Amino acid sequence: MGEVHTGLLQNSGEIEESACRQVLALTAGETVRVSRRPIVHAVSPDRLTGVDCRLPSATQSRVRGVGTVLSRCAITGGRVAQGSSYVRLTRAEADRRLPWSHYLARPGVVEVLGKAKARDLADGFADDPPPGCLDLGAISGRFLDLAQSSPLLDRRAPFKVPRTRLRWVAESGEPAIRFVLRSDRTRSVLVVHDGAFTPAVADLCEDLALHDWLLTTLLVLLERARIGAVPGPEAAARLAPAVDHLLHLWMPAARLGDAMAPYWESLDRRPGFSRQWQSLVDRVRDQVTVNTLALLSVTAEAGRRRR
């Protein structure tokens, strides 16, 4: 299970690949991974956080987990930043806590001490964790804050929008995916896959979180434009940040392998992420086009009057 926080990079404009590397160089001596096609995507080195705490439980059972959380931060297109953390839960090999060397040798694994049902833990994780329980969101948020505080960023973002949080749980079984909007800022995803867990599942959820944030943010900017309630040029000006900073970033599943692509295809059938995105993009472009034509018409009329 994991949690991804996604937000606008706190900079006035898109940062270059070299700057992405520096912002994400959060662990000395480790390499920042960068892919350039089809869009620049930089990922920080993995970071481990040791945990020994209660695990979230839908039935409020006192279940203890010990191990390490695996976290990373990513920047897409020099514009959108993400903090991501996840763990794989396994039954403990012993009925007591072992030396930390045992857990450090198994990065991203939390061992469950005592009796616990997987469904109970999964359902408990979908809600906000109570105090004292494993909180992957807090770890993801702190890691993202660390990247956002880089002195290379001018902290003059072109618009303000809240971060979104996507919590995900992966289980073994017949392949399926379920996406739920829990609130304006929180989503949950259940991924059922055949075979053992692989990091590709985390890649899928980070990609889904990125595109959900893009869709959510474009909706917010359209609402703020107040199309029809304010003069056309004013509405078009309010939509300019969407054109400048968001529209070119929509590339679902572009970095996913063949095994994960069918999950995105399922989401495009229902609830229809790409259809909604294209509808919103068409509306933005129609507003810009209509107001550009109106401006050209006014300019031409003024020229005829001068003659």
- Stretch 293-303: mean pLDDT: 68
Q: How many CB atoms lie within 10 A of CB 247?
A: 15
Give residue for tokens 């920042």: 32
- Stretch 8-31: mean pLDDT: 92
- Stretch 283-307: mean pLDDT: 76
Give residue for tokens 């069918």: 262
Give residue for tokens 């690949």: 17
Query: Angle at which helices 273-306 and 232-245 pack, to 10 degrees?
Result: 130
Element (DSSP H or E) covering residue 50 = strand 47-54
Element (DSSP H or E) covering residue 65 = strand 64-76
pLDDT band with cut points at 50, 70 and 90 for residue 81? very high
- The answer to whether residue 176 scores a pLDDT higher than 90 is yes
Which region holds residue 243: left if phi is over 0, alpha if psi is between -120 and 50, else beta?
alpha
Q: How far apart are CA 175 and CA 93, in angstroms?
A: 29
More confident residue, 299 or 161: 161
Per-residue pLDDT, 271: 81
- The answer to whether residue 163 scores a pLDDT higher than 80 is yes
Nearest to 161 by CA among 272, 246, 257: 246
Per-residue pLDDT, 290: 84
Q: Which of 74-88, 119-133, 293-307 has the highest mean pLDDT?
A: 74-88
CA distances 291 to 224, 236, 288, Å, are: 17, 7, 5
Q: What is the mean pLDDT of the chain?
A: 91
Per-residue pLDDT, 198: 87
Per-residue pLDDT, 16: 94
More confident residue, 303 or 3: 3
Reported as a single tens digit per residue, the pLDDT across 42-67 is 999 999 999 999 999 998 888 999 99
pLDDT band with cut points at 50, 70 and 90 for residue 224? very high
The residue count of the chain comes to: 307
Per-residue pLDDT, 298: 63
pLDDT band with cut points at 50, 70 and 90 for residue 307? low
Q: How many CB atoms lie within 10 A of CB 202?
A: 21
Reported as a single tens digit per residue, the pLDDT across 97-148 is 999 999 999 999 999 998 889 889 999 998 888 888 999 999 999 999 999 9
Q: pTM of the prediction?
A: 0.93
Q: How far apart are CA 39 and CA 190, in angstroms?
A: 27
Residue 153 backbone dihedrals phi, psi, to 5 degrees: -100, 135
Q: How far apart are CA 187 and CA 191, in angstroms?
A: 13
Each residue of 157-185: b (16+ CB within 10 Å) or e?
bebebebbbbbbbbeeeeeebebeeeeee
pLDDT band with cut points at 50, 70 and 90 for residue 218? very high
pLDDT band with cut points at 50, 70 and 90 for residue 300? low
